[in-house]
Structure 1
Amino acid sequence: MAEPKRKGWKTREFIESRWNITRDNIQPVTATGFLKIWTKYDQDANRYLEREEISRFLRDFINSEASSLAQAAEHGRSVTSANKARTISESDLRELTQIFMEEFDQDRDGKISIRELTQILPVEECFRVVLDHEMDAASGLDYVKIWQKYDVDGSGHLEMEELKLFLHDLITKNHPERQMDPKKLTELAKIVMTLYDTNGDGRLGLSEVVRLLPSRENSVQLVLDKARQLQRLTQSDINKILERYDQDHNGTLDGEELENLLVDLLDAMQGDKSYSTHDLKELKRAVLKGCDMDGDGKICKKELAVILLAVVQSGLSALYGGIGDPVRSAVMNKKPAQKK
Structure 2
Amino acid sequence: MASIKINLNGQNSFLSKLKDGNSAHLEKLSAAQFMQVWEHYDEDGNGYIEGSELDGFLKEYITTVDADGAVKSTFTDKELQDLREKFMEAYDDNKDGKIEIRELAQLLPMEENFLLLFRFDNPLESSVEFMKIWKTYDTDHSGYIEADELKNFLRDILKGASKSQEVTEDMLIEYTDTMLNVFDTNKDGKLQLSEMTKLLPVKENFLTRQVFKGSSGVGKEDIEKVFALYDRDNSGTIENEELHGFLKDLLSLAKKDYDSKDLKEFHDAIMKGCDSNKDGKISKKELTMILMALAEQTGGQ
Give TM class, smaller chain.
0.5 to 0.7
Corresponding residue number in structure 1 for 2:247: 262
Alignment equivalent of 2:75, drawn from 81, 87, 93: 87
CA separation in 1, counterparts of 2:218 and 2:126? 28
CA separation in 1, counterparts of 2:130 and 2:259? 13
Corresponding residue number in structure 1 for 2:46: 48
Retained in 1: the 8 A contact 2:105–2:115?
A: no
Corresponding residue number in structure 2 for 1:152: 139
- TM-score normalized by the length of structure 1: 0.60
Deviation at 1:192, TM superposition (A): 1.2
Question: Cα RMSD between the aligned structures?
Answer: 4.4
CA separation in 1, counterparts of 2:225 and 2:234? 12
Residue 217 (str. 1) matches residue 221 (str. 2): no
Mark the CA change 1:139 to 1:287 in structure 2 (over 3 Å): closer, same or farther: closer
Mark the CA change 1:241 to 1:128 in structure 2 (over 3 Å): closer, same or farther: farther
| Matching of residues 120-269 of structure 1 within 5 Å | 122=106, 126-127=113-114, 129-130=116-117, 132-133=119-120, 141-173=128-160, 179-213=166-200, 216-221=202-207, 223-228=208-213, 232-269=217-254
Retained in 1: the 8 A contact 2:123–2:203?
A: no
Deviation at 1:205, TM superposition (A): 0.9
Mark the CA change 1:172 to 1:122 in structure 2 (over 3 Å): closer, same or farther: closer
Corresponding residue number in structure 2 for 1:60: 56
Mark the CA change 1:34 to 1:231 in structure 2 (over 3 Å): closer, same or farther: farther
Mark the CA change 1:139 to 1:236 in structure 2 (over 3 Å): closer, same or farther: closer
CA separation in 1, counterparts of 2:41 and 2:229? 40
Alignment equivalent of 1:277, drawn from 238, 260, 275: 260
Mark the CA change 1:132 to 1:264 in structure 2 (over 3 Å): closer, same or farther: farther
Q: Which amino acid aligns with 1:305?
A: T
Q: Which amino acid aligns with 2:46?
A: Y
Matched length: 257
Retained in 1: the 8 A contact 2:137–2:150?
A: yes
Mark the CA change 1:203 to 1:235 in structure 2 (over 3 Å): closer, same or farther: same
How far does the alpha carbon of each residue in 1:138-187 deviate from its partner, in whole angstroms, 9 at most, with x for none? 69743333223322333322221221112112222466x98531011111
What secondary structure is seen at the aligned counterpart in 2 of 1:183?
A: helix
CA separation in 2, counterparts of 1:68 and 1:179? 31
What secondary structure is seen at the aligned counterpart in 2 of 1:87?
A: strand
Corresponding residue number in structure 1 for 2:35: 35
Deviation at 1:134, TM superposition (A): 8.5
Report which structure shows greater RCO (CA 8 Å, sep ≥6): 2
Retained in 1: the 8 A contact 2:215–2:295?
A: no
Gaps of 5+ in 2: 1-25, 85-94
